[in-house]
Amino acid sequence: MRGMAGDPSKFARDLPKAELHLHIEGTLEPDLMFELARRNAVPLPYASVEDVRQAYVFSDLQSFLDIYYAGCRVLLQEQDFYDLTSAYLQRASKQGVRHAEIFFDPQTHTDRGVPFESVITGIHRALAEGRERLNVSSGLILCFLRHLPEDAAMRTLSEALAYRDWLLGVGLDSSEVGHPPSKFQAVYDRAREAGLLPVAHAGEEGPPGYVWEALDLLQVRRIDHGVRSLEDERLAGRLVEEQIPLTVCPMSNVKLRVFPALRQHNLKRMLERGLLATVNSDDPAYFGGYVADNLEAAAAALELSREDLILLARNSFMASFLSEGEKRRHLNDLSGFADQPSLKTTS
Ligand code: HPA
Ligand code: ZN
């Protein structure tokens, strides 16, 4: 890391930050997968934790999703969703996360016969406890699976509205190409009417046109990934002008071959262009790193300075759905952290 005194991994870890792009199902570490498989008597296609890790080699988004959805089969009881979420929060807290806006994929579970109530109650209980015990605040974002029809998303939303107060927003994930945001316009209209804050994955594998649709048709407040936005100069200009956040996930992008290597990632160009980019972990159990690991790896590969990392942490709070007062409090903490004399730059 350029201009960095002391231990760069400690700096990335201790930096106060928000995580805004995190699929709770993507935090299922192999050891918990084995434990839940045993507890629920679900057969696994893997002989050992080592065997699982070896299977995590992906050629694109779909090759990952196939394995990710298969892993979800061990999640059956409310307690499983609680244990999953609780384990994430403990790891996130150790990585400097002060606030997390977390995705969950209810259709992945309800389509297997798991009640919606078990999913959301287990996650919600762990989030409430994380606020008390770890001082990590959080919000929950319900994602619709875009490879399924819009009426399935609409039924999921209807069911979710019984838990309206436990939800912060709605998102859109799964196989992007061939499933444009326009397919989900009616369900987003209804979600916004209910006061849910809209975000969507767009421009991960899909073209910049999908980012335009997410903005214009779904009226999203953030774009998840959005790395392909830089291919369209007019789109990049709009994102800068309106300061629409992009929740970028560098390690995910390399694992799913959106970029051939971290050195080729466009995160630094995004910051230079004035985009409100943030760094996040996406599915850390599958992509090999949590949020501070992503910051550290991106910093090393792209020669990001200490100031760049502080800007990314600042962006994470600015891009969050926290109140203005809460944002100010976190930004003050961040300034206090950045001003510590032991963290003076070497240059
Ligand atoms: N993209 C789309 N769908 C997903 C992802 C992702 O990165 N992670 C989990 N579901
Ligand atoms: Zn994602």
Strands (E), the chain: 17-19, 97-104, 137-145, 169-173, 197-202, 222-225, 246-248, 277-279
* Per-residue pLDDT tens over the stretch 60-114: 999 999 999 999 999 999 999 999 999 999 999 999 999 999 999 999 999 999 9
What's the confidence (pLDDT) of residue 343? 64
Q: Which residues are catalytically annotated?
A: 204
* Per-residue pLDDT tens over the stretch 170-186: 999 999 999 999 999 99
What's the whole-model pTM score?
A: 0.97
Q: What's the chain's average pLDDT?
A: 96
Ligand 1 pocket test target in 58, 283, 286 with most atoms within 8 Å of CB: 283
**What percent of the chain lies above the pLDDT cut of 90?**
95
Tell me how far the alpha carbon of residue 173 lies from the centroid of ligand 2, in angstroms.
6
DSSP codes of every residue in 64-95: HHHHHHHHGGG--SHHHHHHHHHHHHHHHHHT
What's the confidence (pLDDT) of residue 254? 98
CA-to-CA distance for 323 and 325, rounded, in angstroms?
A: 5
Write the burial class of residue 247 (CB in 10 Å: 0-12 exposed, 13-18 middle, 19+ buried). buried
* Per-residue pLDDT tens over the stretch 8-63: 899 999 999 999 999 999 999 999 999 999 999 999 999 999 999 999 999 999 99
If we measure between CA atoms, which residue out of 109, 114, 105 comes closest to residue 141?
105
Minimal-distance CA residue to ligand 1 atom 10: 174
Q: Would you say 320 and 101 are in contact if contact means Cβ atoms under 8 Å apart?
A: yes
Q: What is the domain partition of the chain in residue ranges?
A: 8-333
What's the confidence (pLDDT) of residue 127? 99
Is the model's pLDDT at 4 over the cut of 60? no
Is the model's pLDDT at 203 over the cut of 50? yes
- What architecture (CATH level 2) is domain 8-333? Alpha-Beta Barrel (3.20)
Closest-lying ligand to the alpha carbon of 176?
Answer: 1
- Helix ranges (H only) for 72-206 are 78-94, 106-110, 116-134, 150-160, 185-193
Q: Ligand 1 pocket: which residues have CB below 6 Å? A: 23, 26, 61, 68, 173-174, 201, 204, 252, 282-283
Closest-lying ligand to the alpha carbon of 146?
Answer: 1
Write the burial class of residue 152 (CB in 10 Å: 0-12 exposed, 13-18 middle, 19+ buried). middle
Ligand 1 pocket test target in 24, 62, 147, 201 with most atoms within 8 Å of CB: 201
Tell me how far the alpha carbon of residue 225 lies from the centroid of ligand 1, in angstroms.
9
Kindly give, in sequence order, each residue whose CB lies less than 8 Å from that of residue 342, ignoring residues fewer than 6 positions away: 5, 6
Give the CA radius of gyration of the chain: 19
What's the confidence (pLDDT) of residue 8? 81
Is the model's pLDDT at 2 over the cut of 60? no
The region, left, alpha or beta by phi > 0 then psi within -120 to 50, assigned to residue 78 is: alpha
What's the confidence (pLDDT) of residue 347? 41
List residues bridging with 2 in a β-sheet.
Answer: 305
Q: Which two tokens stand for residue 224?
A: 């998840």
Q: Which two tokens stand for residue 184?
A: 């989900």
